[in-house]
């Protein structure tokens, strides 16, 4: 038994020496260990989470304001969700050496994918994003905000399913608890009783269309997130902020082109000038609403895709769901809606759910730290025995 252990320690010492050699690029046994979360990782996640919650909340309120004050074009409401990507283009003018990469512990080098493969990935995801955004626009036009938020919470369930099928997502009790709490938090919003402000005007047909479209959009969003994570892992296989920007810009470009075709093919573009003139808040407010809606959706995209790269599609979706109860709170501040106990409870449950999910990452970090210490100790011991035997 002692001889076998000594042989094992010798092997570990040899691997350690190889890891310190200049030509060595990867240590398989170490790469299998859980990755320790650094302070920089938590800081990046916090920034991305803020962009998701703030971008989603502001953009949703601006979208609701557009329809409430006289806007009627679903295609235009979809375009502004996608066409803001040019504000990100100055990033590409920054010298490569000045960009801050998203670094992880892996040092494995992969052969870059061909342009055709990357174009296929960006194009297919862009098409799904275009369809998804249009369905969301229809839902927001025909449903009350509380009902809309309730249905959007179902994207967690869809994303959980797709993450399990496509991304091999593992579920722990804390993650399940987080998903349940976030779902309940958004579900509570349906009991706000804002049917008097139903934008469908009491039409059951419009309500049904809005309901079906929002459910479809929620399922599509869950699929888009999982496919994006799969693309990062299997196709792109890089871990820098540049790939986040590439994913946003290229998929938004494809989606914008698709929606622009729909805008002109539907004939809605002919009535946009009249719509601008009849907008209740004035022409300037009409333009500013569209501009800031486009910008805030791009901030949301940066946060969402950044969280996918840093953690997982399910984590990104959980942060997005956490932001759903924020919309009613902002409505109280800016639209003077009434704050009731249900909204407050939804906020508490959302925060509780997020803390549960963050605690799971904290446990993973501690496990990674302990395992790394054990391995480092065994390698040091093996190196000492190697030196003694040598």
The pLDDT tens digits of the residues spanning 358-385 come to 777 677 767 766 766 666 566 566 566 6
Residue 334 has pLDDT above 80, yes or no: no
At 328 the pLDDT is 67
Question: Per-residue confidence at 2, pLDDT binned at 50, 70, 90?
Answer: very low
Residue 16 has pLDDT above 60, yes or no: no
- For 143, the token pair is 């449903």
Torsion sign (Cα): 341, 343, 346, 347: negative
Higher pLDDT, 98 or 213: 213
Quote helix, strand, coil % in the chain, to nearest 5.
80, 0, 20
At 52 the pLDDT is 92
Q: b/e per residue, 19-30, with b = 16+ CB within 10 A?
A: eeeeeeeeeeeb
Distance, in Å, from the CA atom of 41 to the CA atom of 47, rounded to the nearest integer, reads 10
Segment 258-264 mean pLDDT: 95
- For 378, the token pair is 């065994």
Q: b/e per residue, 179-201, with b = 16+ CB within 10 A?
A: bebbbbbbbbbbebebeeebbbe
For residues 56 and 320, the answer to whether their CB atoms sit within 8 Å is yes
Which is nearest to 57 in space by CA: 386, 377, 329, 362?
329
Q: At what angle do helices 326-334 and 341-389 cross, to 10 degrees?
A: 130
Residue 134 has pLDDT above 90, yes or no: yes
At 331 the pLDDT is 67
Segment 207-224 mean pLDDT: 88
Distance, in Å, from the CA atom of 59 to the CA atom of 294, rounded to the nearest integer, reads 8
At 105 the pLDDT is 47
Which is nearest to 73 in space by CA: 129, 127, 126, 134?
134
At 342 the pLDDT is 73
Residue 29 has pLDDT above 60, yes or no: no
At 337 the pLDDT is 61
- For 383, the token pair is 């190196």
Helices (H), 232-312: 241-266, 272-277, 283-310
Question: Per-residue confidence at 193, pLDDT binned at 50, 70, 90?
Answer: low
At 87 the pLDDT is 87
Q: Specify which of 11-15, 106-110, 135-139 reaches the highest per-range mean pLDDT.
A: 135-139
At 135 the pLDDT is 94
Which is nearest to 220 in space by CA: 151, 138, 129?
129
Higher pLDDT, 386 or 22: 386
pLDDT tens for each residue of 266-283: 998 999 999 999 999 999
pLDDT tens for each residue of 41-95: 888 889 999 999 999 888 988 988 898 888 889 999 999 999 998 988 888 887 7
**Confidence (pTM):** 0.72
For residues 50 and 322, the answer to whether their CB atoms sit within 8 Å is no
pLDDT tens for each residue of 235-250: 888 767 788 888 889 9
At 107 the pLDDT is 44
At 250 the pLDDT is 93
- For 116, the token pair is 């055709």
At 201 the pLDDT is 59
At 133 the pLDDT is 94
Higher pLDDT, 322 or 200: 322
Cα torsion through 22, 28, 31, 34, rounded to 10: -150
Q: Specify which of 104-108, 156-160, 241-245, 263-267 reaches the highest per-range mean pLDDT.
A: 263-267
Residue 131 has pLDDT above 90, yes or no: yes
């Amino acid at each position: 038994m002692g001889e076998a252990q000594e042989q094992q320690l010798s092997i570990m010492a040899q691997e350690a020496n190889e890891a310190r050699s200049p030509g060595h690029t990867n240590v398989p046994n170490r790469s299998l260990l859980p990755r320790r979360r650094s302070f920089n990782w938590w800081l990046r996640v916090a920034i991305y989470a803020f962009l998701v919650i703030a971008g989603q909340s502001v953009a949703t309120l601006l979208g609701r304001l557009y329809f409430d004050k006289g806007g009627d074009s679903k295609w235009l409401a979809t375009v502004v969700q996608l066409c803001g990507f040019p504000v990100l283009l100055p990033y590409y003018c920054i010298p490569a050496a000045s960009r801050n990469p998203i670094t992880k512990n892996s040092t494995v080098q992969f052969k870059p994918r061909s342009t055709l493969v990357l174009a296929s990935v960006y194009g297919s995801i862009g098409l799904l994003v275009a369809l998804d955004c249009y369905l969301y626009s229809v839902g927001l036009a025909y449903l009350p905000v509380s009902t809309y938020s309730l249905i959007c919470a179902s994207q967690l369930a869809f994303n959980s399913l797709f993450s399990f099928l496509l991304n091999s997502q593992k579920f722990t009790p804390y993650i399940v608890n987080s998903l349940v709490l976030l779902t309940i938090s958004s579900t509570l919003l349906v009991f706000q009783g804002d049917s008097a402000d139903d934008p469908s005007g009491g039409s059951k047909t419009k309500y049904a269309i809005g309901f079906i479209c929002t459910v479809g959009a929620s399922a599509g969003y869950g699929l888009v997130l999982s496919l994006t994570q799969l693309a990062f892992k299997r196709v792109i296989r890089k871990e820098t902020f540049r790939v986040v920007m590439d994913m946003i810009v290229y998929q938004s470009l494809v989606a914008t082109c698709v929606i622009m075709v729909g805008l002109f093919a539907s004939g809605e573009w002919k009535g946009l000038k009249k719509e601008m003139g009849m907008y209740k808040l004035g022409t300037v407010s009409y333009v500013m609403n569209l501009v800031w809606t486009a910008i805030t959706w791009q901030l949301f995209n940066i946060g969402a895709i950044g969280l996918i790269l840093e953690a997982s599609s399910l984590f990104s979706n959980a942060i997005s769901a956490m932001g759903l109860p924020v919309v009613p709170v902002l409505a109280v501040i800016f639209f003077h809606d009434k704050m009731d106990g249900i909204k407050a409870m939804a906020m508490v449950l959302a925060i509780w759910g997020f803390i549960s999910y963050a605690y799971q990452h904290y446990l993973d970090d501690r496990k990674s730290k302990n395992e790394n210490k054990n391995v480092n100790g065994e390698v040091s011991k093996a190196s000492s025995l190697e030196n003694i035997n040598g």
